[in-house]
Copies of this chain bind each other. A is one copy, B any other.
Amino acid sequence: MDRQLSFLREIDKLKNVIRKSPLIDKSRRENSAEHSWHLAMYALILSESSNQTINIDRVIRMLLIHDIVEIDAGDHPIHESTHIENQEELEQQAAQRIFGLLPRCQGEELIELWQEFESGASNDAAFAKALDRMQPLIHNVATDGGTWAEANVTETQVKKRYGPTIEGGSSSLWSKAKKLVNCHFE
């Protein structure tokens, strides 16, 4: 239990990892802990929109832990132009260090779940990744462009950067998202 509590204290730091995305009221940018909560809620509410059969509770768990590596490796926004050479390596090291605080079996299980999310290969991961793209899109539309306006991102770029991932997990969400994007850029 000491190791479990150490881990739970350590991940408090995710509350200070600041993302680019604004809150809907534009008062400030979102942090990765509250973002993870919001995505878990997206999963809970939108589970029936998945293209494939999914285990929604696994999707929720995946989304709860999907950004924890950012405590060490930072958040890397989709519209960022700089490419970080060894980002993947940094994230793998972060996963080993942070989940490594847990009892061994429990830590390994969460590393596997996080790697499944990263790969995007399973049905659960595809849906989780779709939600992770959908939520910032909703926030950008709701805030007169949010990070798109800041980074001068065009409609074509938005559709290219969000479309495949959202549609890969949920055609119905992408169909809705496209309408919102069209309307926004009009």
A residues sitting closer than 8 Å to B (CB atoms) are: 1, 4-5, 7-9, 11-16, 23-25, 27, 30-31, 33-34, 36-38, 40-42, 44-46, 49, 57, 60-61, 64-65, 102, 106, 135, 138-139, 142, 172-173, 176
Q: How many whole Å from A45's CB to the nearest CB in chain B?
A: 5
Instruction: Provide the residues of chain B in CB contact with A11, threshold 8 Å.
Output: 38, 41
Cβ-defined contact, B25 with A38, below 8 A: no
Tell me, in angstroms, the Cα distance from A78 to B148 when the chains sit together.
Answer: 42
| A40, A102, A106: residue with the most chain B Cβ atoms closer than 10 Å | A40
Q: How many whole Å from A48's CB to the nearest CB in chain B?
A: 9
Q: How many whole Å from A133's CB to the nearest CB in chain B?
A: 14
Across the interface, A24 reaches (CB within 8 A) one of B9, B42, B49, B65, namely B9
| A12, A14, A49, A106: residue with the most chain B Cβ atoms closer than 10 Å | A12
Given contacts A15-B34, A45-B102, 19 further A-B contacts (CB under 8 A): A1-B46, A1-B49, A5-B176, A8-B41, A8-B45, A9-B24, A12-B23, A12-B38, A16-B27, A31-B34, A33-B37, A34-B34, A34-B37, A37-B37, A37-B40, A41-B65, A44-B64, A45-B106, A60-B61
Closest to A175 in B: B1
Tell me, in angstroms, the Cα distance from A25 to B9 when the chains sit together.
Answer: 10
Tell me, in angstroms, the Cα distance from A173 to B5 when the chains sit together.
Answer: 10
Across the interface, A23 reaches (CB within 8 A) one of B15, B36, B45, B57, namely B15
Tell me, in angstroms, the Cα distance from A14 to B30 when the chains sit together.
Answer: 12
Closest to A58 in B: B57
